Structure 1
Amino acid sequence: MTHALDDLRVVDFSRVLAGPLATMILADLGATVTKIERPGTGDDTRAWGPPYDAGQATYYQSVNRNKDSVVLDLGTPEGAARARELAAGADVVVENFRPGVMDRLGLGYETLSTANPGLVYCSITGFGAGAGAALPGYDLLIQALGGLMSITGRPDGEPQKAGVALVDVISGLFASVGVLTAVRHRDRTGQGQRVEVNLLSCLLAALVNQGSAYTLAGQVAGRMGNAHPSVAPYELLPTGDGDLVVAVGNDRQFAALAQAVGRPEVAADDRFRTNDARVAHRDELRRILVDALAAKPAAVWVPALSEARVPAGQVNDIAGAFDLAGSLGLDPIVEVPRGDGTVARLTRNPIGLSATPPAYRSAPPSLGESPSANRPVETGP
């Protein structure tokens, strides 16, 4: 089977999460990715455990499948020379060192693009290459400085981070889009270019409606717990037994909700008839709904509300989330082969392509392992 990026060669100098996620996306789509790692320890996340599986941290395995690992000491002339050799034959280089480090190693954009004018060179930083170049780009720090923690958590509680390194994930996605855009331009013109992504800008872009509330209306959002600043009811509500998520996005859904909980008159009440009115009177509406929902447990309300076409559900743990996806036929887990004949069970790439679907050729490599060297060439449809 052919894959969309079969002819793309990527040299990956990045580590931890944002860069490795971006290059794994490219690898899943067919690219040959060579991961450059430091001697002895390799990528920092190899040691970020527990948990471990097959002797490797599951954190590392989450973003490094379909890659070869090459160990190089970039601080030595021999290691840097080998890295330049690899980059000279590459289509894409991805790196997330502090600004200036790759230049000092003789691996900066200007140097590598002189030898390889078609090179797409992606740099991922925390705060850009200007005044923020010296600031450490850790996800938790970006969540704090970038405003995400200020809008996450209960109003009467402390600011909260997201449950995963969300800024790194968002930045990796933006980086992969930037790389593919630059590759498209290179394929048309022969001209490579530098792609620059920084975590702070990615987070600000990902604030979407909360960001535009500030840039357009001058409103600075605060923490609202599980409520929504612009839509109601769109929150977690207690029931007679267990909590229920209700995500009402329009007036029809609200009327159906009111009918289903036995309070049809609420939908005609001027305080709640439109979304604007519901937002303005959210506290009164919450009290009414909590009172009505107390009559039955959440497990009874979910099918009743779903039958009424009201978006509602209970909060799953991660195991429950994977079980749900499996029950819906989404096949969320793929088994990726290891060199020893075992498999790594990893999360499926969510991109569906009818002609060139993602590939799962090899599990995340051990330090210095090159699975592609033992892989037969794939041909044909």
Structure 2
Amino acid sequence: MTFKTLDDAALSGKRALVRVDLNVPMAKGEVTDDTRLKAAKPTVDKLRAGGAKVILLAHFDRPKGQRVPEMSLFPVVRPLAEVLGCDVAFAQDCVGDDAAAAVAAMKDGDVLLLENVRFHPGEEKNAADFAQALAANGDLYVNDAFSAAHRAHASTEGLARLLPAYAGEQMRRELDALNAALGAPKRPVLGVVGGSKVSTKLDLLNNLVGRLDALAIGGGMANTFLAAKGVDVGGSLCEHDLGDTARQIMAAAEQAGCELLLPLDVVVATEVAPGADSHVRALDAVGAEEKILDAGPKTLARLIAAMDASATLIWNGPLGVFEVPPFDKATVAAAKHAAGLAKSGGLVAVAGGGDTVAALNAAGCAEDFTFVSTAGGAFLEWMEGKTLPGVAALSQ
């Protein structure tokens, strides 16, 4: 896919409508994690340096087309200004007289945040009249919210059809990284997919086995594959009713020439609790009351060897119950090894998904990965091979 970036845009004096993701976690009116605010800074800086008027569009929570005071973007203004290092004005609405007056008062290089676009039902309906009302305040459109790109909303898709459309700096980084991971990757390509249930990642697995050279499956979902091969997984989380599905995926992987890496050994315990008494078990030695909660040392060693033999890694989901030590050991060790390879230039390592980001942060190695996507649902849908409306609308 080819798309225009801000390098292709004439910015001076232009009103730039910029879709950003400011849906940040808050407690008692205060932002508790400013990661998404920081992600918007490179695009805002570039637009301001080019002499544009920067008009930010964003959503917060799920007001479902109603004006919900608790879901106003106003509390984000001060922390956003601190991150950007400049004043940020605020308009009480994203369309209509309030928005128009606030935009008219702007000077080149100013930054304005408009109120929650989801206060209007036309946003999530991608209504043409609402998209046109948004477009009335801009000369060009910039999408810098990959995390919302899987939604065909007025501010993510409709606007791109009405104004000259560009990818923002964060969007560009995301798309370049994803292209490097699955679009046109250096081979061999290794995938790591973990998590609790196969049922939530069927589309993902079916897409990946046709595109990867090897795929390691971990977490609770690996138990379903082991059970489908006749392994007794004891009291472990397992979707026994998906045995046929697991066997079909294994057959598809074999036909596609994708090596499927299932656990060779496992770490078990009878309870999921911090510091619980745990044991390494061979696959044929899991007790009836024991739960598989992490990958074993042989499984970890083979995964590390697979990383060493790969040029590209794409990772979604932990290898065990990483939130509860000691069942975080395999995930942390594998993450640190991948990060070391990426930092030395020996591996393109791309990861994404909420649990994955949390696991890499817990391991203290997220910054050494080539790219870590915080996009959640959009990242998963992209990995599943689905078209993302907000991205498709930017394509030339």
Larger radius of gyration: 1
Bigger proportion of residues as helix = 2
Where relative contact order (Cα < 8 A, 6+ residues apart) is larger, the structure is 1
TM normalised by structure 2 equals 0.30
- How high is the TM-score relative to the length of structure 1? 0.31
